[in-house]
Amino acid sequence: MKVVIVGGGFGGLKLARSLNNKKGFEVILIDKVNYHQFQPLLYQVATAGLDASNISFPLRKVFHKSKNVRIRLAEVKEIVPSQNKVITSAEEIDYDILVLATGTETNFFGNQQLVDYAFPMKSTVDALQIRHKLIRNFEEALLVKDAAELQRLMNIVVVGGGPTGVELSGALAEMKHYVLPKDYPELDFSKMNIYLLEGGSKTLGNMSEKSAADSYRYLTRLGVKVLTNTIVNNFDGDNVQLKDGNTIPSKTVIWAAGVTGSIPPGFDKSLIARGNRLIVDRYLRLKGFENIYVIGDLAYMETPKYPQSHPQLASAAIQQGKLLAENLKKLQANDREFTEFEYRDKGTLATVGRNLAVADFPKPKLHFGGFIAWIIWMSLHLVLILGVKNRFFVFSNWVYNYFTYDQSLRLIFPEFYKTKKGEPSNLVLDKK
């Protein structure tokens, strides 16, 4: 059985590893990059807490001893279901079973100015670009004489009060207190503002009321200006325009306000649900197809427990990858007694800063905040990171940061990064 997996995220990688060296399977894993990136810690790369290599693991290294899993570095251009074919930027690949695990991408809601000027944070490259932008802003601030321009350079706006926005805002606040004044003693960081804008009534809207209240309290304690019920209309590179008519002067907007499914071309619109996700049955099969499956953030499955589909979390993607592997093994053995997918919620966590985190557990129903939740958060993330070496470096960095309140990763390599409109750059990643 030739299984083609598109996407090396949590779901796709779990499926490939579950089929690794299993007789009767030929597996091809396609991804645009040659590494698995641990997205929950991207914000720490963006704020110079971790190096990009600490949370990135080469896909080929995962399968060094594999006899049946092969990696293809390519971008999918089109799926042709009628021919059981995947057309990529490098070749055409036939399949018996196709699994789409392409996840999501940042949703700018069709606003081209936001695309041009705001920074997403969905990949390692995005995180490095944000780090580069932040450091350059402070370097430029040293030379600015105009007070209004100085304020724009020192203000940072994070849009979206979910886990990504909360964690990033907290990390930026800690940089403001402990790191930046030592790097730039000429600047007055009491004038630096970190804004967290949330369109809903609370931060961490998908977690419990206690977690939402705790996160708000922790953020305000750190000095973050949390503005709920606040919607961004536009951003022109200098000012953030809000729906209520107010503006925030800022050169840096980090967009964490929503995602949309990353669907390869080739599928009818009738297969797409809200959030640009593909509709699947309880066995993760794409609606109307017998040999195409969808897992992870891209899959939209309505169940009695989750009538609006499962949460777009790494834990759901991993569980789906594991279950699909078992069902494919049954299919290969001509056993049609497939197992339905049922998401097992083991809990949700988010960190805000040093000794500050929130954790919700469904069974038994428990809530933790502060230091205990922070320890749980760190322990879980260390377990989920691929590779002993990566775990060691992440843990070492955390220990070093905890005792020194510092990190030595605030480096500028402008030749390696694409920049937003209006910024100079010598080289870019997509250089021909």
Among 308, 369, 311, 297, CA closest to 344 = 311
- Out of 149, 167, 326, 415, the active site residue is 167
Is the domain of 382 the same as that of 323? no
Is the domain of 169 the same as that of 253? yes
Task: Give the separation between CA 396 and CA 342, rounded to whole angstroms.
Answer: 37
Is the domain of 203 the same as that of 230? yes
Tell me the per-residue pLDDT of 207-266, one tens digit each, with 9 for 90 and over.
999 999 999 999 999 999 999 999 999 999 999 999 999 999 999 999 999 899 999 998
H-state helical runs in 155-193: 163-174, 180-183
Task: Give the separation between CA 358 and CA 15, rounded to whole angstroms.
Answer: 30
Predicted confidence band of residue 429 (pLDDT cuts 50, 70, 90): very low
Q: Exposed, middle or buried by CB within 10 Å (0-12, 13-18, 19+), for 273? A: middle
Is the domain of 119 the same as that of 226? yes
Domain membership of residue 40 (yes or no) is no
| Structure tokens belonging to residue 149 | 């321009």
Among 211, 52, 14, CA closest to 130 = 52
Q: Is 48 left (phi over 0), alpha (psi -120 to 50) or beta?
A: left
We report the CATH number of the domain holding residue 313 as: 3.50.50.60
Would you say 266 and 81 are in contact if contact means Cβ atoms under 8 Å apart? yes
Tell me the per-residue pLDDT of 339-359, one tens digit each, with 9 for 90 and over.
999 999 999 999 999 999 999
Instruction: Mention every residue, 6+ apart, whose C-beta is less than 8 A from residue 432.
Output: none
Number of domains in the chain: 2
Which of 278, 299, 332 finishes a domain? 332
Domain membership of residue 291 (yes or no) is yes
Q: What percent of the chain is helix, strand and coil (3-state, nearest 5)?
A: 35, 25, 40
Instruction: Mention every residue, 6+ apart, whose C-beta is less than 8 A from residue 258.
Output: 106, 107, 109, 160
Domain membership of residue 168 (yes or no) is yes
Q: Which domain holds residue 394?
A: 112-257+347-416
Please say if the pLDDT value at position 415 is more than 70: no
Tell me the per-residue pLDDT of 368-389, one tens digit each, with 9 for 90 and over.
999 999 999 999 999 889 888 8
Is the domain of 311 the same as that of 199? no
Is the domain of 323 the same as that of 179? no
Which of 279, 302, 332 finishes a domain? 332
Is the domain of 192 the same as that of 297? no
| Structure tokens belonging to residue 76 | 């999918």
Amino acid code (one letter) for 357: A
What strands lie across the sheet with 299-300, from one edge to the other?
272-273, 277-279, 299-300
Domain membership of residue 52 (yes or no) is no
Domain membership of residue 266 (yes or no) is yes
Domain membership of residue 65 (yes or no) is no
What mean pLDDT comes out for the span 269-293?
A: 95
Among 9, 6, 8, 27, CA closest to 325 = 27
Active site residue 167: yes
Please say if the pLDDT value at position 113 is more than 70: yes
Amino acid code (one letter) for 104: T
Strands 26-31 and 2-6: parallel
Task: Give the separation between CA 256 and CA 242, rounded to whole angstroms.
Answer: 16
Domain membership of residue 429 (yes or no) is no
What mean pLDDT comes out for the span 193-207?
A: 95
Instruction: Mention every residue, 6+ apart, whose C-beta is less than 8 A from residue 174.
Output: 222, 353, 354
Per-residue pLDDT, 418 = 52
Please say if the pLDDT value at position 430 is more than 50: no
Strands 277-279 and 299-300: parallel
Please say if the pLDDT value at position 432 is more than 50: no
Per-residue pLDDT, 414 = 61
Domain membership of residue 425 (yes or no) is no
